[in-house]
Amino acid sequence: MCDIIWCKKCDTVNYLDPYCFWNWEGKIKCAECGEVYYIHMIMGHMYKGPEPRPGEQPDILPLYADKPYDGYTNFPPGTEGKTRPYNCTPRHIYLGRADQRKFSIRNRPMRAWPQPPSAGIAGSQGFYWDIKKLSPEVWEEYQEKIKRGEVRDW
Amino acid sequence: MADPREVRLEDLPGPKSREELEDMKAPYEEYCRKIFDVGNEFIKPGALEGIRWLSCTMYIFTPHSVANLGELGAEIIKVEFPRVADPMRHTSPFNECYFYPLHDTRPKSGTGIGVLNANVNEYYISLDYHRKEAQEVLYKLVKMSDGLTECYRPGTFDKWKQSYRYLQEINPRFIYVWGGGFGYGPKAFGGSYDILGQAHAGLASITGFHEDFGGHPVKHSNWCIDWYSGTQITVAVLAALYWRRKTGLGTMIEFSQVQAATRCLGYGVPLYGRFGVVRQRWGNWDTMLCVHGIIICGKSDYPDEKNPQLRNEARYVMVSAFNDPDFKELCSVIKRMDLYEKYKTHNERVRAEAQVEIYREIEKWAADKSRSEVVRILTEAGILAMPVKNDKEVYESEHFRQRGTVRWMDDPMLGDVIAQSTYSTGLFSETPRRKFWDFRPVGADNIKIYHELLGYPISTIQEWYEKGII
Ligand SMILES: [Zn+2]
C-alpha cells in the first residue's frame, strides 16, 4: 500500500512510500511541475490534503513519480531535484562494476583481482598461493603497508 | 501462603545473586574455554574422517549439505561440469570483488564472493557426465565412496544411468541424496531457488509488515532456506550413515527444497487446521507477545558515516517487556504510566490495536534518542533491549571473537578471508569443525583424483581435458 498525490496541474502521480509518510505532516513537491502540496497522514491514511501551497518550500520529494496516461514517462528515484534517492544505495561510490581489491579490510593480501590463468595439467592447480613469487608487486605493496603500520590483526 | 503457581527465585536451583552467579560461572567458563580451545581445532581429529563423499551440486542448498560433512572431517570430491562449473561462481554480488582464479577457459571472470562458505574443504574435479568415457570414471569413484549428493532435475541422473538404482548395484552401501526443488509429485519438474521455496511454502506471506503499514510479503535478504535445507540434508545423511553401520545397507534420500520452508511455518499450519485462521504478517512485532519487537529510534549511532547502511540504519532496537512488571517498568521509563493503566494484562496488550498504540508511543519516546541511548536506558531499567546489529558490528563483536564464531583465516589460495560458517555451528570438545580452505578453481584437483586416487595415466587425463570430458 502506498498513497499518492495525483497532481491536477500536470497529471503526474507522485508516490508516497509508506515508511516515510506513515505518520507525517508537511509539504511535498510534484516531480513534474513543482507544485507544492501540504499533506497530513496519520497511520498511513491521508488525514488532510493534498492541498496546493503554491510558492512555498517543500519539505521532501516523492520517491518515484510517473505519468500513467503518457506511456512510460517516469521519474525514477534519485532524479536530481525531482525525486529523492534511495538511501539503500549499497556504496557511497557506486561504480556499477566489480570493485577489484588486493587487500582485505585489515590490509592483508587477498587473491581477488583478475589475473592471467595459471592452470597446470588438465586444469590442476597448485595448492598454495606463494604471494611473494606469484604476485611480487602485491608483496611489495604489502611490505609498505606493514611499514606504515596499516596491517591490523582484526 | 505462597501461590503454588508462582516460581520464586529463591526456590530455583542455581545462583541467588549476581555475586553467586559470577562465582559459579567462572570455573565453568574456564572449563569451556579449555575443552573447546577455540583456534586450535586443527590438532584434534574430525568426526567424519574416513568418509568420502561426492558432491555433484550447484548453488548453495545442496553444496552446503555436503560442505557440512567436509567441515566435520569427511573427504569431499566436488564434481563440476568442465568449462561451465557451478553457476554460483558467477553470482558475485554486484559491485563486489571477485576471487581469482576460475579456470583457463574463463580467465577474465573470477569466482564471485557469493560462492563462499558453501563448498568448504573440498577437492575439485571436472567431469562431463554426458560422455561415455565419464561413466567408468564415475562408477570407479562410487565404488570407493560412501555417498553422493546431486541436485539435477528429477530423473536426469537416472537417464545417465547413475541414479540410486544403478549405483546401488555397484555399491550396496552407497548413500544417495537427491536434493531438488519440489521432489516427486505433480510439480516434479519445476526448478527451485531459495526465494521460490520461501514463496511456495507460505513463508514469504507471513514475513514483512502488515498491509496496513504498506507492507508486502518479504523474502529474507539471504538464502536462509538454502542454508537451512542443506543442514537438514546433512542430518539425514548422518542418520543414514548410522543406519548403514547397523545394517550394512545404503539409502536413498530424497529432499525437496520447498518442503524445508514449510517447517518454518511453526504453529501456522495447525492454527489453520484447528481454527481456519490464516496467519498474517505482523512486521517487527510479535503476534503472541507484547512488548516483544523491534522499534525505530530517531538518531543513528553513526550519524557521520559515509556508508548509508551505518549512517541511516543503525537505529533499530529490539525491545522485550511482555510480562506485567517489565511492561510497567517500560511505561515508567517512557513516562506513560497511563498506557500501563490502560493495558495492565498481557491479553489486552497483545491485541492488534493495543500493539499499534504501544509501539507508537515507545517510538515517540525514542524519536530524539540514538539506538545506543535507548539500549542503555532500557537495560539499566532491567528491560531486555538489543541493538539490531549490522554485519560490521557482528564482525567486530567481542563475544563472537572470543568464541571464534567469526574469525580471519589465511586461505591457502585466496589469502586473507573472514570465516563464520564453519565456526558458527556449534563447538565440539573432541572433534571440532574446521575449515582448511574455502573453495578451489575448477578442476584444481583433476590430477590428484584421476591420477593419484584412480590411477589413470597423466596422458589419458590430458587427452580427456583436451576433448572436454574433464
Ligand atoms: Zn504537477
Kindly report, residue by residue over B104-155, the tens digit of the pLDDT.
Answer: 666 566 677 888 899 999 999 999 998 989 999 999 999 999 999 999 988 8
What is the CB neighbour count within 10 angstroms for residue B332?
Answer: 12
Ligand 1 centroid to B236 CA: how many Å?
61
The low-confidence residues of chain A, meaning pLDDT below 50, are 1, 92, 94
- Look at residue A98 in the predicted model and tell me its pLDDT: 59
Indicate the range of A46-55, B153-162, B193-202 predicted with least confidence: B193-202
Query: Cα dist. B451→A95, A121, B128, B440, B467 in Å?
Result: 45, 11, 17, 18, 17
pLDDT digits (tens, 9 = 90+) for B409-458: 999 988 999 999 999 999 999 999 999 999 988 899 999 999 999 999 99
Q: Are B79 and B85 in contact (CB under 8 A)?
A: no
Average the pLDDT over B202-210 and give the result: 91
Q: How confident is the model at residue B95 (pLDDT cuts 50, 70, 90)?
A: very low
Contact B256, B248 (CB under 8 A): no
Backbone torsions φ then ψ of B395, nearest 5 degrees: -60, -35
Averaged over B214-236, what is the pLDDT?
A: 91
**In this predicted model, what pLDDT tens digit does every residue of B334-359 receive, in sequence order?**
999 999 999 999 999 999 999 999 99
Q: What is the ipTM of this complex?
A: 0.80
Q: Which of A1, A98, A129 sits opposite B96 (nearest CB)?
A: A98
Taking an 8 Å cut-off on Cβ atoms, the answer to whether A110 and B416 are in contact is: yes
Give the model confidence (pLDDT) of B363-404 as tens digits.
Answer: 999 999 999 999 999 999 999 999 999 989 999 999 999 999
Res. B13: pLDDT tops 80: no
- The least confident of B50-54, B190-194, B215-219, B387-391 is B190-194
Per-residue pLDDT of B16-61, as tens digits, reads 777 877 777 778 888 999 999 999 999 999 999 999 999 999 999 9
At position B42, the amino acid (one-letter code) is F
* Contact indicator for B384, B319 with CB cutoff of 8 Å: yes
Q: In this model, does residue B100 exceed pLDDT 70?
A: no
CA of A82 to the centre of ligand 1 (A): 11
Global pTM?
Answer: 0.85
Q: Provide the pLDDT for residue B424.
A: 92
| Residue A23 alpha carbon to ligand 1 centre in Å | 23
Asked if B415 lies within 8 A of A129 by C-beta distance, the reply is yes
Strands ordered across the beta sheet of A3-7? A3-7, A12-16, A64-66, A74-75
Asked if A114 and B100 come within 8 Å (Cβ–Cβ), the reply is yes
Residue B176: enclosing H or E segment and its boundaries? strand B175-180
| Mean of the per-residue pLDDT values of chain B | 90
Distances B20 to B10, B23, B26, B380 between C-alpha atoms, Å? 13, 5, 10, 20
Q: How far apart are CA B113 and CA B87, in angstroms?
A: 12
Neighbours of ion ligand 1 (CB under 5 A): A 7, 9-10, 12, 30, 32-33, 35
